[in-house]
Structure formats: structure tokens, C-alpha cells
């Protein structure tokens, strides 16, 4: 069992402190608020939260949780500290780091006097880069020691929801953390052992970003449900019934499908159906804020890819994929066809490898080229041989994923710009000639 100090006895800190003590750890809660310290030491919960008063009473009576404002004593008596102070919005919307920075300075000053190794784990929600740019300098400056060597640093976000905080602590949807050093990584791994969810040990910045992604996703879900509800009501329908039915689909709707960063959506259904629902909303007096943003953002993703190709300076670009997704020759509202058409208009020479569209033309299929209304000379731009396409292109645009192209395109990226909108290989990240659209 570990000895842990928790800085900040707010919603996150007090729940973590109580649950850690319940699980057998020795916990010291540290705060600047004398009322909260007195409440805990008297066995009372400083916040209203289901199940917490009983839990605090029990763990304080058992002597496993105490509270103090004495930073040095808390650091000396524990092997790791959690930082769970508030990070309120600054007036410009940026994350407010003043409390986190102040606590890190306090902890650093105490570390100066502690010879033994100690891990500092930030649990507050802070934007990517904050641990490195704010917390570590504050800790190093005050301690005179080197992070990752003389003391440990980690970032381990909390995902609990108030009102179900203890339940969420016990059954989290995910655990993610980043650690600068092995002792902190091992400490966090051991602490989370036995939980029924996946544990993601990643780099600190990724862990910071996952926390914001999670909260923003929750916010987008609320806004989406509200917008559907508003549109449904204006059409005389019960929006909650509509959303309950949608949520019953855990295969596609409520799954990882369509959740992979990449290129714009297109095809014969999504663009026209989003437009139609947006039109229905407008005609019934509902402003479809989110649907407007969806259409704008999708358009911006095409513009982003166009800028990447233009920035490469290439005059001859080989497209790998032109249909709206791999495995089909359907070109209706294909964002790749739209992208190719824009580049052609700007004077870029575009040749295209797409085995499905090529096959449709080669077999004189009557529907070949179906849905293409943006590239008039599409058949003459088709190339059936990927090697030839690579040889005559000064840049490659990877639009669709075809297994047989991975190896030759990975090699091609060594010698010329490759703009990847789908990700040829999970291990590839933007570097040198190779640029992924969102990785």
C-alpha cells in the first residue's frame, strides 16, 4: 500500500483521497482552506456527494485519511503527491494555471528538503504542454532538482462525474496517464491494477489531450442531442424517443465507427442528408447551429488538404483513391474528387490510381464514373499501375486505403512529398516528406 498526499480537497481531490484511503492507502489531504481541513479531520465531508460522508467518516476513524495545510509534513510523510487544484477559465478562455503553478512551487520547495525520491502527479485538467511548460519549471525552480531524475512527474487526468463520483472512481471508462520516469509509471500502473478498464500509459501531452477530448466529446453529445430534440419537437416529434432509438445501436451509431481523424465525409448519403435536415430545421423555425458547423467544418477539411498539396509545391500529383471511400467506385459527392477538381483548376496535373473506378471504366461498366460531375476528363486521368503513377508524380495524395499500396507508398515517401488523408500505416506520423492530415 502507498503513502499519498493529495493537494486540493475539491470534488476531485476529496473523492480520490477518500477512495484511496478506503483501498488501504495512507492518505494526507492538503488544502489552503481551513474549513475543509477541519471538516475532514472531524470525519465530515467538505462537499455534498453521494456516499462520501459515510466513506470519509470510516477512513478518518480508521486513521487512513488526515488533512493539513503543512506542505512539508505532507511531502515528508508520503512517496507521491496528487495535484487536484482548480483550473478555472481565464478571461480570454485559456486554462487558468495559477493554482497548479502555486502548488507545484510549494511542493518543489518541500522537495528541496527531502532526500528521498518523490513523484508529483498532476490530476487537474490542463491543456497539452502545461505539465512541461508550467508544472515542471515550477517544481524544478523551487526544488533545485531535476524532474524525471531527482523526482518523478506524471499526468493522470480524472474523468469522474459529480453525483456519481465514487461509482465512476471504482468503474472508470478508461484510465490514461503519462509519466516522465519509470518509478512514477510503475507507481501509477500498480495503483490502477485490478480495474476492469483498459489502462493507457502514454506520453504526458497525449494524456493531457485525452482529458480535453473526453470533456469536449461529452459537450458535443449534449449539444447534438439538444439540436436533434429541438428539430424533432418543431416537427411534432419526441426528441428523447428519437435519441433513445439511435442510442440502441451500439454497432454503428454508438461505436468507434466514424470516430477516426482523417478526411472529409462524402458519398451519396451523409452530405445530402445533413443538408436536408438542416433545411427542415430552418423551415420549422429552428436554427441548426451544430449542423451548420458540421457542414462548414467538413468543407474546411477539404480546404486543409488542398493547402497541404499546394504547400508541397508539386506540379504533378498522383491521387491514390478518388471514390468517396475504398471498396467502391461510387463518386457521388466524393471529397477526393472535389479536391482533385480544385487542384486541377489551380493548374496542378492530377493522375489517379483507384482500382475500383479503374475497373469500372476498364470493364465498360455503364455506371463507370457515376456521380462524378467535377472532373470532366476523369477517364483519361486514370492509371492502373501504381508504380507508373508514383514515377511520374512529384507528390502523392493518399486518399483511400488499399492494402497493396502501403509498401510502395511508404517507400515513395522517402523521396517525394506524400500527403496522407487516411493513414497508410498506424506507426507513421508527420515527418519530413510524409505529412498526415491529422497525425
What is the set of active-site residues? 269
70 binds ligand NAD (CB under 6 A): no
Of residues 160-219, those binding ligand NAD (CB under 6 A) = 160, 162
With CB atoms as reference, the residue minimizing the distance to ligand NAD is 10
Is 339 one of the binding residues for ligand NAD (CB under 6 A)?
A: no
What is the sign, positive or negative, of the torsion defined by CA atoms of 403, 408, 414, 416? Answer: negative
Q: Is 12 a binder of ligand NAD (CB under 6 A)?
A: yes
- Kindly state the cell numbers that stand for 363: 470493364
Q: Whose Cβ is closer to ligand NAD: residue 10's or residue 137's?
A: 10
Residue 6 is a binding residue for ligand NAD (CB under 6 A): no
Task: Give the relative orientation of helices 204-234 and 289-312 as an angle to the nearest 10 degrees.
Answer: 140
CB of 313 to ligand NAD, least distance (A): 44
Q: Shortest Cβ distance from residue 240 to ligand NAD (Å)?
A: 25
**Residue 47: CB minimum distance to ligand NAD, A:** 7
Question: 200 vs 411, which CB is nearer to ligand NAD?
Answer: 200
Q: Position of cell 480535453? A: 212
Q: Per DSSP, what are the bridge partners of residue 179?
A: 154
Contact call for residue 127 and ligand NAD (CB under 6 A): no
| Closer to ligand NAD by Cβ: residue 30 or 60 | 30
Place of cell 448519403: 269
Among 36, 325, 332, 342, binds ligand NAD (CB under 6 A): 36
Binding of ligand NAD at residue 8 (CB under 6 A)?
Answer: yes
List binders of ligand NAD among 84-123 (CB under 6 A).
84-87, 99, 102-103, 106
Q: Does 32 bind ligand NAD (CB under 6 A)?
A: yes
- For the bound state, the minimum distance from the C-beta of residue 147 to ligand NAD, rounded and expressed in Å, comes to 19
Q: How far is the CB of 206 from ligand NAD (least distance, A)?
A: 17
Binding site for ligand NAD (CB under 6 A): 7-13, 30-33, 36, 84-87, 99, 102-103, 106, 124-125, 158, 160, 162
Amino acid at each position: 500500500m502507498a503513502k499519498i498526499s493529495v493537494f486540493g480537497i475539491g470534488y476531485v481531490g476529496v473523492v480520490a483521497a477518500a477512495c484511496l484511503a478506503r483501498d488501504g492507502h495512507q492518505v494526507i489531504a492538503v488544502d489552503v482552506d481551513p474549513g475543509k481541513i477541519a471538516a475532514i479531520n472531524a470525519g465530515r465531508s467538505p462537499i455534498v456527494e453521494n456516499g462520501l460522508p459515510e466513506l470519509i467518516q470510516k477512513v478518518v476513524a480508521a486513521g487512513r485519511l488526515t488533512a493539513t495545510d503543512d506542505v512539508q509534513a505532507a511531502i515528508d510523510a508520503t512517496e507521491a503527491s496528487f495535484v487536484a487544484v482548480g483550473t478555472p477559465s481565464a478571461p480570454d478562455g485559456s486554462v487558468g494555471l495559477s493554482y497548479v503553478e502555486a502548488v507545484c512551487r510549494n511542493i518543489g520547495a518541500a522537495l528541496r528538503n527531502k532526500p528521498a525520491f518523490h513523484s508529483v502527479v498532476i490530476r487537474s485538467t490542463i491543456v497539452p504542454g502545461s505539465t512541461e511548460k508550467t508544472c515542471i519549471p515550477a517544481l524544478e525552480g523551487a526544488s533545485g532538482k531535476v524532474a524525471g531524475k531527482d523526482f518523478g512527474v506524471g499526468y493522470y487526468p480524472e474523468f469522474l462525474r459529480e453525483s456519481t463520483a465514487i461509482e465512476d472512481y471504482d468503474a472508470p471508462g478508461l484510465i490514461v496517464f503519462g509519466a516522465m520516469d519509470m518509478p512514477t509509471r510503475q507507481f501509477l500502473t500498480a495503483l490502477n491494477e485490478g480495474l476492469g478498464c483498459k489502462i493507457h500509459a502514454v506520453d504526458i501531452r497525449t494524456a493531457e489531450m485525452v482529458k480535453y477530448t473526453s470533456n469536449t466529446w461529452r459537450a458535443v453529445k449534449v449539444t447534438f442531442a439538444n439540436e436533434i430534440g429541438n428539430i424533432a419537437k418543431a416537427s411534432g416529434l419526441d426528441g428523447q424517443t428519437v435519441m433513445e432509438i439511435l442510442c440502441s445501436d451500439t454497432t454503428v451509431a454508438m461505436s468507434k465507427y466514424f470516430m477516426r481523424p482523417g478526411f472529409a465525409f462524402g458519398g451519396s448519403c451523409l452530405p445530402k442528408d445533413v443538408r436536408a435536415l438542416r433545411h427542415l430545421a430552418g423551415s420549422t423555425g429552428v436554427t441548426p447551429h451544430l449542423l451548420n458547423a458540421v457542414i462548414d467544418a467538413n468543407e474546411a477539411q477539404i480546404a486543409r488538404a488542398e493547402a497541404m498539396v499546394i504547400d508541397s509545391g508539386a506540379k504533378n500529383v498522383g491521387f491514390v483513391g478518388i471514390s468517396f471511400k475504398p471498396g467502391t467506385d461510387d463518386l457521388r459527392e466524393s471529397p477526393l474528387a472535389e479536391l482533385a477538381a480544385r487542384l486541377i483548376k489551380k493548374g496542378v496535373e492530377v493522375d489517379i490510381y483507384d482500382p475500383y473506378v479503374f475497373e469500372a471504366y476498364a470493364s465498360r461498366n455503364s455506371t463507370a464514373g457515376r456521380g462524378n460531375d467535377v472532373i470532366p476528363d476523369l477517364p483519361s486521368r486514370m492509371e492502373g499501375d501504381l508504380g507508373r503513377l508514383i514515377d511520374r508524380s512529384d507528390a502523392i495524395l493518399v486518399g483511400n486505403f488499399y492494402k497493396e499500396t502501403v509498401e510502395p507508398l511508404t517507400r515513395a515517401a522517402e523521396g517525394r512529398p506524400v500527403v496522407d488523408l487516411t493513414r497508410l500505416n498506424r506507426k507513421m506520423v508527420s515527418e519530413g516528406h510524409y505529412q498526415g492530415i491529422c497525425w
